[in-house]
Copies of this chain bind each other. A is one copy, B any other.
Amino acid sequence: MNQDQPRLAFLGIGLMGLPMCRRLLAAGYPLTVWNRSPGKTDELAEAGAVVAVTPAEAAAAADIVMLSLADTAAVEEVVFDSRGVAECGEGEGKLLVDFSSIEPGATRRFAATLAARNGMSWIDAPVSGGVTGAEAGTLAIMAGGEEADIERLRPVAACLSQRLTHMGPVGSGQVAKVCNQMIVSCNVLVLAEVMALARRAGIDAGRLPEALKGGFADSIPLQLVGPMMAQDRFEPVRWHVRTLLKDLDTAVGLSRSEGSPVPLTGLAAQLMRAHGAKGNLEADPATLIRLYLE
C-alpha cells in the first residue's frame, strides 16, 4: 500500500457504485465499502475491499468518503442517521464526495450541517454517463465545493472520469446536473412529438436519426430513442421515465427557489408526469411517443 494514497470509503454499491469501486480497487486505493443490503459488497471484498457494518465505521477508516445513493432522502439518512457518516468522530481533514444526483438546496444544507457537526468538508459531484461510463471510466463529473477540496479529489477521480469540471461552491455540481437533465428530458419529449408527427406525415421516420446525424439537431438521445420510437420498439429498457420525472421536478423546484422561469421545462415535467401516471414510470423514455401516437 502506497502511504501517500488517501484511504477511501464508498457508500452505496449499486449499478453505478459497483463499477466505480472496481476501478478504484484496480488503481490500488485502500477501500472500505458499505451497502444497505450487504450481499452487494461480496465481489468487492474478494477483490480486496474492507466491508464496514455502518456508514460511520466506513467513514472512520477513510480520508475521502464517497457516496452514490438513490436520492436526497437516502443521502440524508446515510450521513445523519445515528450510525451515519456524521458519527465517525473527528471529521476535520476528511472529505465527503457525493456522486448522487440530489437537490441542490438540500446539498447546501447537508454540507453546512456536517461541517458544523464534525468539521468534514463536502463536495457534490454528480455524474453523467450512466453504467457504461462508470465501467469505462468515462463519466463526466460536475463538482461543487472549495477549490482546495476539488484539487484533492482530482487525482482519485481521474480513474473514474475523463472530465471533472468545477462549477462553483457547494451545490453547484447538483445545479449543473439539473441543467443537464433539463436539456436531456425536454429533448426526449420533443423527439416524441417529432417522431409521431413524422410518422403521421408519411415520411420514413426511421431514417431521421441518420439524416440529422452530425447536424444542429443531433444528440445522443436522438440516436438512442429515435430508432426505437420509429419502430415502436421499447426494449431493451436502458433508462427510466421515473428518473427523468424526478429530475424535471427538481428543476421546477429550483426554478421556484431561484425565481427563474422555465416554461418549457415546466410543461415537460407535466407531460412526463402524464406519461408516468399511465403506468410508464419504469418504462424506457422511448415510450413517450405513446403520448401522441398509440
A191→B219 CA distance, assembly (Å): 14
Nearest neighbor of A218 in chain B, beta-carbon distance: B219
**Contact across chains for A183 and B222 when beta carbons are under 8 A apart:** yes
- Interface 1/0s, chain A 191-205, versus B by CB < 8 A? 101101110111110
Determine which residue in A204, A217, A261, A263 has the highest number of CB atoms from chain B within 10 A of its CB, and name it: A217
Q: Are A262 and B140 in contact (CB under 8 A)?
A: no
Compute how far the CA of A191 lies from the CA of B179 in the bound complex, rounded to whole angstroms.
9
Against B, the Cβ 8 Å flags (1 = close, 0 = not) of A100-128 are 00001000000000000000000000001
A194 surroundings in chain B (CB, below 8 A): 179, 182-183
Known contacts A258-B197, A260-B292, A264-B264; is-contact A215 B129 (Cβ 8 Å): yes
- Measured in the bound complex, the distance between the Cα atoms of B220 and A214 in whole Å is 9
Q: Are B260 and A180 in contact (CB under 8 A)?
A: no
* Chain B nearest CB, measured from A231 CB (Å): 16
Which chain B residues lie closer than 8 Å to A271 at the CB level? Answer: 263-264
Q: Which among A142, A176, A183 has the greatest number of chain B C-beta atoms within 10 A?
A: A183
Q: What's the tally of chain A residues with a CB closer than 8 Å to chain B? A: 70
Beyond known contacts A186-B187, A263-B267: 20 more, CB 8 A cutoff: A104-B201, A140-B215, A167-B211, A168-B202, A171-B201, A176-B198, A178-B197, A180-B215, A182-B190, A182-B194, A182-B197, A184-B217, A186-B264, A187-B190, A193-B260, A193-B263, A197-B254, A201-B254, A218-B220, A267-B267
- Which A residues form the contact surface with B (CB < 8 A)? 104, 128-129, 140, 142, 144, 163, 165-169, 171-172, 175-176, 178-184, 186-187, 189-191, 193-194, 196-198, 200-204, 207-208, 210-222, 251, 254-255, 258-265, 267-268, 271, 291-293
